[in-house]
Every structure is written in C-alpha cells, then in structure tokens.
Amino acid sequence: MTVTEKRLAKRRRITEEAARLFGERGYQATRMADVAAALGMQAGSLYYYVDSKEALLAAIVEERVSVAVDMLTEILVEDLDPVAKIRRGIEGHLVVFDEHADLYRIFLSERLDAIAPELAETVDRLGRRYEDLWVDLVNEAIAAGALRPDLDPWLTMKAIVGMCNSTLCWFDPAGRLTPEEVADRFADVVLAGIRA
Amino acid sequence: MTVTEKRLAKRRRITEEAARLFGERGYQATRMADVAAALGMQAGSLYYYVDSKEALLAAIVEERVSVAVDMLTEILVEDLDPVAKIRRGIEGHLVVFDEHADLYRIFLSERLDAIAPELAETVDRLGRRYEDLWVDLVNEAIAAGALRPDLDPWLTMKAIVGMCNSTLCWFDPAGRLTPEEVADRFADVVLAGIRA
Amino acid sequence: MTVTEKRLAKRRRITEEAARLFGERGYQATRMADVAAALGMQAGSLYYYVDSKEALLAAIVEERVSVAVDMLTEILVEDLDPVAKIRRGIEGHLVVFDEHADLYRIFLSERLDAIAPELAETVDRLGRRYEDLWVDLVNEAIAAGALRPDLDPWLTMKAIVGMCNSTLCWFDPAGRLTPEEVADRFADVVLAGIRA
Amino acid sequence: MTVTEKRLAKRRRITEEAARLFGERGYQATRMADVAAALGMQAGSLYYYVDSKEALLAAIVEERVSVAVDMLTEILVEDLDPVAKIRRGIEGHLVVFDEHADLYRIFLSERLDAIAPELAETVDRLGRRYEDLWVDLVNEAIAAGALRPDLDPWLTMKAIVGMCNSTLCWFDPAGRLTPEEVADRFADVVLAGIRA
DNA sequence: TATGAATGAGCATTCATTCAT
DNA sequence: AATGAATGAATGCTCATTCAT
C-alpha cells in the first residue's frame, strides 16, 4: 500500500466513524473530539485529513449520496413487469437504508441547509431525482394498466417513499424481521391494501 | 385583561415563537437571541418569562404533547365501522400534524434525549401510547373481519403511521392539497392498495 | 408621622434588611431582588429609596460605622483604673459585635475596596481610629505600671482586638455564654495568661 | 520533563495563580479571564487544564486543606512539655498562615457553602479537626498541671486560634516582624498575660 | 504524521438598573 | 409609591480550529 493509499484509507475510516456518530447522535451534538476519540486520536489530528467539520459532513454525504438513486436506476432497466419493479424498489429502499442507516439519518434528519447550503442543495437534487424515478415507475405501471388509472402519481410516490423512509426510525437490524421481510409486507400493503 | 393574564399571554407568545423557530431551524441552531429578536426583545428579557432554553423546549412539548393521542382516543370511541375509523385516524393524523407541524418536527427530528432525557421519556411514552392505539384499531378491524386476517398488526401500524409522519417533510399548507385530501388518498392506498 | 418621616422609616427598614442579608450571605451573593423580597417588594421599588446597591452598602456602613469607636471613646474617659478599662473595652467590643454582628461581618469579611474604594477608606480610617484608641489604652496602662513595660503596644492591641474580632465567626447569641461572659474569660486570658 | 509533567506543572501554576487572586480579590470578584491574564493566556485556555471555576477552587482547597492539621498533629507527638507545645502550636499556626495566606484567606473569608457546599463541608470538617487538636493540647496541659485548672478548654482554644487567625488581616511578610516573632509575643500574652 | 497547547468567537444566563404606568 | 417589564453589560463555558514541535 502506497503512502497515498494509506492516507486515503485513514481518511475513509474517519468519514465512516464520523458518519456513524453523526447518524447516532446528530451532527451538532457530535464534537470533533468525539470523532477523534472514537479513532484513538486527538481532535487536532483530524485536520490533517479533513478541512473542517462541515467538509467532513460533505465528504460523508458526497461519497454515498447516490446509492439509492443508483439502486433504483438499475431496477428501472430490469426486465420485470411494473408491479414487480415497485416491489423490488421498496425492497431496494429498505435494504439500502439498512446498509446506510447513518447516512440517511443525516439526509433526512439534519437541517443541512442551516449547516451547509450547497450540500443541502446536492442532497435535495439527489432526493428529487430519486423521487422522479419513483414517479416514473408509478407512471409506467399506470400506463401498463397495472395500477389504478386515477392515482395521483406524485402523491402515490410520497406515500410509498414516506412509508419506506420512516423505517429509519424504528427498524432494528437485530430484530425479528429482515429488511426484505418488512419490504415484502409493505409492498403488500401498498399494492393490495389491507382490506379483507 | 389582568396583569397575570397579560403575563401568561406573553409567555404563550414566546413559546409559540420558539416552537416555530425550533421547528424550522432546529433547537440547537436557534439561539435565545433569535427567539427574542422574533418578538422584538432582547435575549435577557426572555428570562423574565422562561427559566432556561431547555425549560422553554419542555414547555412547548408538554403543552401540546398529547394532542395526537387525544385525537385518536376520541376516534376510537366513535360509533363507526373499523375501516371508517382507520380513515378518520389518518385524517386526524394529518390534520393534527398540519396544525402543529413545528411541534411534531421537534418530536420526530430532535434528539431529545441528548437535550433533556426526562422530556424525551415523556415524548417516547406518548409516542408508544399513540402507536398502541393504532394497533388496537387495526386489531379491532381484523377481528371485525374488515381487514385481512394475515396482517401483522404492529407492522401495519408502522406502515400507516410512517406514511402519515412523512408528510411533515413535504406537506405545504399553501399547496394544492388540503390535509384532508392527502389523508383521503393515503387512506385509499392503505385500504385498497394501488393495484388496478 | 409626616411623609418624609415615613419615607425615612422605610429607608431604614431597607438598610436594616440589607445589612442582615449582606452580613449573612455576603454582599455579592445577595441580590437586590433578595433584599426586596425580604421586605415584600419588587427589586425595582428599592430604587425609590436607594440609589444603587453600592449606595445601599454605603448607607449601612456609614449609619453605624462609628459605634465601636464611640463605645471605646466613652470607656477611655471613664474613671477607672487602666486594667479595668481594658476589661471594659473587651466587654464593649464583644457586646457591640453581638449587637451589630451583620455590620461587622461586612466590615471584616467583604473586600470593600473592590466594591467601593471610598467606602473602604472610610471603614479603614475608623478601623485605624479604633486601633489607635486601644493602643492609647495599652500605653496608658503601661505608663501606670499596670502592664508589663516590655510589651509592644501595637502588637498587644492586635492580639486583643484580633481575639475579640474572631468571635464574629463563632459566637452564638443563643448559645450557653453571653457576650459578657466570653469577654470576662477573654480578659482573664489576656490579663493573667493561662499558665497555672 | 515528560509531557504529563509539563501539563501538571502548568496546572499547578494555574491553581497557584488562582489561589493568589482568589485570596487577594475574592472568588466572586476574580474572573476566569483575570486568572488567565495573569498567566498570559486566554480565558478559554484554562479549561484545557481545569473543569470549571468551582473545580479550580476545589483543587486549590483540597490540595492544601490539611496543612495546618498536619502541622499541629506533628507538634502534638513531639517530646515537649505541654506549655512548649502550645508555644510551638502558635508558631506553627502563624508560619503556616504566612506561607499559605491566600489559601487561609479563602477558608476564612469566602462563604464557601454558597459556592460549593461539599467543599465547605470538607473545610469545616478540617477546621473542626484543627480545633479539636488544640482542645486536646489545652486539656493535656491542664492535666499536667501546667495551665490553670479553671480554664474552659474550648473557649481557651477559641481565644488562641482567633488571635492567630486574625493575623491574616494585617500580617505583612515584608514588615518589621517575622511570623516567629509575632508568635513569640502572642504566646507570651496568652501564657503569661500582659499584666505587670 | 500526530500531538499538546492555545485560541477566540459564540452562546446561555444573571442581575443591577431603568422607566412608563 | 410601587410595579411589571425590559435592558444590556458581564461572565462562565464550549468547541472548531490552528500551529509549533
């Protein structure tokens, strides 16, 4: 491993640890000293790898900001019927949220625009992109006659995505249900409804 | 208006303004000076009415913490069929969230236990109570044969409540849809599903 | 009682209450609001009678600053033998300190020159006057052959006055000994020594 | 000097400087900025070494709280006749008070229980212990027939200790008398009395 | 590369004081 | 004569950041 590679590896460890702490306790409540302590370093040493606390947040966000979008993009081009794609989309959402819970907690809970407006704009843009993909998915399914034609596609997207997002607040990876299982039940609710 | 009434009225204005700012920008990011400035006062003057920033948060929370629970409790005793109750519950949720958006933003976004553990406990307890009521509602409907018997009541509750909670992030009171309209569509999704 | 008399009476009640609190808790630790509360008033109302907290302290001090000096002056002109005068001086000291404990606690414990330099100067001047009177007393007694001729009059004064001053820290008016009794024992110690 | 030693050395310099200022101007009147300025630092920098202003006071007190007790304890076990021990005790008192004047000024002048109740309790306990040792000394001397049998041991202790304590208010290390000289004269007064 | 040390701006809070009523 | 209300200066403390070593 070259010097530069070692440096990058350490930088990655820092962003990962920071992501974990920011996600757990919140950005404001996490001190640079906390991040450093979690890595067995002094606060000042972080600045050898990172320009500022804000830049650290930016690095975290930018590094993985497009995971969900990429996931959904791939699903969209798969050779599946529209309803199956929706089911896969929900599953992908929950799996990605499970794997990157800290990151999405930052996306959804932190008032990013009060911290770093440009960062908030980046996240917003990606968020809108993600929602647009879902709207496309819904529209495609309606056009294919698979969904009720009277649906408001945007509101339907909000219902699905909102339901999925909220798992961030309660889903426990060590609990009785896997993300895939939750996704399956959620998809049932959304697709077939709960009425007998 | 007596002196005490005036005092209480001012105190109420302060908590309202603070709730607005805490909800908008977050608790940490809002300075006492911001709250004061929004009321045309100096920061120090707030302490004539309020003990501390934390006490101000507590006052905001405690004043209205049970609104949603009360709403749902009332619906549960209404003389309606179970499915109608669910529809009414969703409507109630969105209406209450619209009316008290700042408060519920504080409930759901702030890491209250890092700020005031006892307050967090109060909010958690109420939150669990609210979820319990929803589980009751779902169970009641299943027992009445109105909902599919294979539903996981708790997960169904999480789906419904999560969907409703997420409106906090995007619902615009000045937008094209009223809370009741959104609630109606959301209820359609949940009850009948989106499939054609 | 004329209006002015009533005003003066109230002013006196304020200074007395303030003296009590300043003596008990200390000047810094006593808030104007505490003084007011002890009199059933609002802090702001005090300013109708008193110019400032500092002026209140000055009023307390100036009102009674010369009590001890007056007492000792009177003793000096009494028709007693020098040793009896010393005994009376010690008694007078303890009685005055008992009666005006709060005042002398302020004199001796507060760093007056950090609060009000001119006031400190006044108190210092009176203190020096008081000590001078004691030195006179000692010198008179030595000259009369009543005390050992090798005594350092100033240091002897410091010993006597210091011993008496220290009662401020422990003397309890409700305790087993009266000020006069303590004075008597102290005088025995000073005059005859404790050796068998 | 290792890093830790340097750190401790600096911490010691801080507590010493703070002790000096607290003793001189009083705890309340001394700002953290004053302590810092006296060391050529910024106020914030102190917190790298000290937890809080109160903790700084506690450190000062606890570091040296038992100096006087230790001194007197050693004298008590020395092989001297009781009267010589009393003379040595007075000398020890004045020497210790001279060496740690700032500390004992804090002990005796500050209303510690208004600042830090537990600290006040510690100081009180030590103070009582110190007085107990003096009472023992007096009792021992009476039992040995060296002091008058009619003495009230406790009051005698108060007389001696009070006399010694009061030197804090006037003793000048740069003055004409050393602590030992003052102690010698004070011991003469107490043991033999001032009468011719 | 990392650290110990220091900084300084920022913020909550206190409290003597003012003043219109 | 008194009050409720407001002020603003002061102060302890936090923490991201810098920098010499």
Question: What average pLDDT does chain D have?
Answer: 96
More confident residue, D33 or B114: D33
Please, where are the H alpha helices in A144-194?
A: 153-165, 179-192
- Alpha-carbon separation of residue A154 from A83, A160, B23, B87 (angstroms): 17, 10, 25, 20
The verdict on a CB contact (< 8 Å) between A189 and B162 is no
Using CA atoms, how far apart are residues A119 and D23, in angstroms rounded to an integer? 53
**C118: how many CB neighbours lie within 10 A of its CB?**
10
Q: Coil, strand, or helix at residue B147?
A: strand
Task: Provide the angle, in degrees to the nearest 10, between the axes of the packed helices A53-64 and A117-143.
Answer: 20
E strands in chain C: none
C-alpha atoms less than 13 angstroms from C-alpha of D37 in its C-beta half-sphere: 6
Tell me: pLDDT of A193 over 90. yes
Q: Tokens 């319990």 belong to which residue?
A: B132
Whether A47 sits with its Cβ under 7 A from any strand F atom: the answer reads: yes
Using CA atoms, how far apart are residues B132 and A70, in angstroms rounded to an integer? 37
One-letter amino acid for residue C70 of the chain: D
Q: Coil, strand, or helix at residue D195?
A: strand
Asked if residues C9 and C26 have their Cβ atoms less than 8 Å apart, the reply is: no
Asked if residues D92 and D156 have their Cβ atoms less than 8 Å apart, the reply is: no
**Average pLDDT of the segment spanning B18-29:** 95
Q: Has this prediction a pTM greater than 0.75?
A: yes
Q: What is the dihedral of CA C61, C63, C66, C71, to 10 degrees?
A: -120
The verdict on a CB contact (< 8 Å) between B25 and A111 is yes
Tell me: pLDDT of C80 over 80. yes
Tokens representing B145?
């044969």
Per-residue pLDDT of C99-122, as tens digits, reads 999 999 999 988 998 899 999 999
Whether B26 sits with its Cβ under 7 A from any strand E atom: the answer reads: no
Tell me: pLDDT of A4 over 90. no
Tokens representing A7?
């440096």
Share of chain B above pLDDT 90, in %: 93
| C/D touch flag: 3 or more CB pairs below 8 Å | yes
Share of chain A above pLDDT 90, in %: 91
Please, where are the H alpha helices in A110-143?
A: 112-115, 117-143
CA D102 → C1' E4, Å?
31
Residue A54 region by backbone torsions, left for phi larger than 0, else alpha for psi between -120 and 50, else beta: alpha
Tell me what pLDDT residue C93 has: 98
One-letter amino acid for residue D106 of the chain: I
Tell me what pLDDT residue A6 has: 86
Asked if residues C161 and C133 have their Cβ atoms less than 8 Å apart, the reply is: no
pLDDT band at B186 (very low <50, low <70, confident <90, very high): very high
**Average pLDDT of the segment spanning B32-53:** 97
Per-residue pLDDT of B43-64, as tens digits, reads 999 999 999 999 999 999 998 8
- Confirm or reject contact between D192 and chain C (CB < 8 A): yes
Q: Tokens 């989106």 belong to which residue?
A: B194
Cβ neighbours of residue A140 under 8 Å, at least 6 residues apart?
A82, A85
- Confirm or reject contact between D149 and chain C (CB < 8 A): yes
More confident residue, C110 or C192: C192
Q: What is the dihedral of CA A90, A93, A94, A96, to 10 degrees?
A: 150
pLDDT band at A64 (very low <50, low <70, confident <90, very high): confident
> With DSSP H G I counted as helix, E B as strand and the rest as coil, what are the percentages for chain C, rounded to 5?
75, 0, 25
Asked if residues A166 and B165 have their Cβ atoms less than 8 Å apart, the reply is: yes
Whether C26 sits with its Cβ under 7 A from any strand E atom: the answer reads: no
Q: In sequence order, what DSSP letters do the residues of C141-175 get, joined into one string?
A: HHHTTSB-TT--HHHHHHHHHHHHHGGGGT--TTS
Question: What average pLDDT does chain B have?
Answer: 96
Tokens representing A49?
């790898």
Residues in chain D: 196
Per-residue pLDDT of A87-137, as tens digits, reads 999 999 999 999 999 999 999 988 998 899 999 999 999 999 999 999 999
**A46: how many CB neighbours lie within 10 A of its CB?**
22
**Average pLDDT of the segment spanning A3-21:** 93
One-letter amino acid for residue D168 of the chain: L
**Nearest Cα residue to A182 out of A115, A87, A69:** A87
**C173: how many CB neighbours lie within 10 A of its CB?**
10
Tell me what pLDDT residue A65 has: 86
**Average pLDDT of the segment spanning D117-123:** 93
Q: What is the dihedral of CA B182, B183, B187, B190, to 10 degrees?
A: 70
Q: Which among D148, D152, D166 has the least Cβ separation from residue C165? A: D166
Q: Which among A148, A149, A170 has the least Cβ separation from residue B158? A: A170
Q: In sequence order, what DSSP letters do the residues of B66-109 get, joined into one string?
A: THHHHHHHHHHTSS--HHHHHHHHHHHHHHHHHHTHHHHHHHHH
- Confirm or reject contact between D25 and chain C (CB < 8 A): yes
pLDDT band at D2 (very low <50, low <70, confident <90, very high): confident
**Average pLDDT of the segment spanning B73-95:** 97
Per-residue pLDDT of D159-189, as tens digits, reads 999 999 999 999 999 999 999 999 999 999 9
Q: Coil, strand, or helix at residue C35?
A: helix
**Average pLDDT of the segment spanning C143-169:** 97
**Average pLDDT of the segment spanning C61-83:** 94
Tell me what pLDDT residue A186 has: 98
- Confirm or reject contact between A133 and chain B (CB < 8 A): no
Closest CA–CA distance from residue C13 to any residue of chain D (Å) = 25
Closest CA–CA distance from residue B193 to any residue of chain A (Å) = 4
**B172: how many CB neighbours lie within 10 A of its CB?**
9
Backbone φ, ψ for residue A3 (5° rounding): -60, -45
Q: Tokens 């009741």 belong to which residue?
A: B180
C-alpha atoms less than 13 angstroms from C-alpha of A172 in its C-beta half-sphere: 5
Nucleotide whose C1' lies closest to the alpha carbon of residue D42 = E7
Using CA atoms, how far apart are residues A67 and D142, in angstroms rounded to an integer? 90
Closest CA–CA distance from residue C109 to any residue of chain D (Å) = 6
Tokens representing D176?
């004409």
One-letter amino acid for residue C16 of the chain: E
pLDDT band at D48 (very low <50, low <70, confident <90, very high): very high
Asked if residues C114 and D26 have their Cβ atoms less than 8 Å apart, the reply is: yes
- Confirm or reject contact between A144 and chain B (CB < 8 A): no
**Average pLDDT of the segment spanning C159-165:** 98
Q: Tokens 């041991």 belong to which residue?
A: D153
Question: What average pLDDT does chain A have?
Answer: 95
Asked if residues C83 and C146 have their Cβ atoms less than 8 Å apart, the reply is: yes
E strands in chain D: none
Q: Coil, strand, or helix at residue A195?
A: strand
pLDDT band at C96 (very low <50, low <70, confident <90, very high): very high
Chains near B with 3+ CB pairs less than 8 A apart are A
Q: In sequence order, what DSSP letters do the residues of D17-59 get, joined into one string?
A: HHHHHHHHH-TTT--HHHHHHHTT--HHHHTTT-S-HHHHHHH
Whether B59 sits with its Cβ under 7 A from any strand E atom: the answer reads: no
Tell me: pLDDT of B1 over 80. no
Using CA atoms, how far apart are residues A49 and A42, in angstroms rounded to an integer? 12
- Confirm or reject contact between C114 and chain D (CB < 8 A): yes
Using CA atoms, how far apart are residues C44 and A172, in angstroms rounded to an integer? 58
DSSP D161: H
Nearest residue of C to residue D171 by CA position? C158
**Average pLDDT of the segment spanning C27-52:** 96
